[in-house]
Structure 1
Amino acid sequence: MDRFQYLLVLGGCLLITLPLEVFGKGVYRQARRTAAAILPVAAVFVVWDLIAIFADVWGYNPDFVTGIGFPQVPFEELMFFVVIPLCGLLTYNAVDTILTYLKRRLRERSAQST
């Protein structure tokens, strides 16, 4: 079970933020936009990871990864660079939608009371 801990944490992050998709225009419903926001940054961090691994700055304990992926960068690490920003986008989108709604309601109430 230890081999799946990293994947389980990533899955938990996705599961927790999945309901946030209902707010606003959504993140999953704008796949191109989401990919354009995540993939270039993920590519930079994968290169960064490779440099650090080859420079022996860090590595991954094989007991805690599945062994799937590039020889040096585990699948879980690649998914980290997609999942965590995706969760961040879902959270940001939900908070922005809720705050915009609340501000609009406050302005409407303020306009009605004057």
Structure 2
Amino acid sequence: MRVLIVEDEPYLAEAIRDGLRLEAIAADIAGDGDTALELLSINAYDIAVLDRDVPGPSGDEIAESIVASGSGMPILMLTAADRLDDKATGFELGADDYLTKPFELRELVLRLRALDRR
């Protein structure tokens, strides 16, 4: 499995990538929306993990772009925006799953594997 992590906090992004690597999940990191869209255009990913609040195009805009592409790529929103309205917006934009920060890496791994089985 190969995932794209869109997260603007470098330490968190690297910790997620390193933790996923230990679970045999390959991950690339984009620290902003422009980099995320570029990586999505040149690489094949199984799942996109999006923080909603990143510089450049937001995680919401990236989700819309993925849905519009027709790729069917699953989207997991990983964000501090934890109100019900935030979650509803994420799902309405095309997210397949929504995990709020702080989170346990094991839960993220379990959710990624579940999405990959679909």
TM-score tier by shorter-chain length is: under 0.3
Q: Which has the higher contact order (CA 8 A, sep 6+)?
A: 1
Rg comparison, structure with higher value: 1
Q: Which has the higher strand share?
A: 2
Compute the TM-score of the two structures, normalised by the length of structure 2: 0.24
Compute the TM-score of the two structures, normalised by the length of structure 1: 0.24
Q: Which has the higher helix share?
A: 1
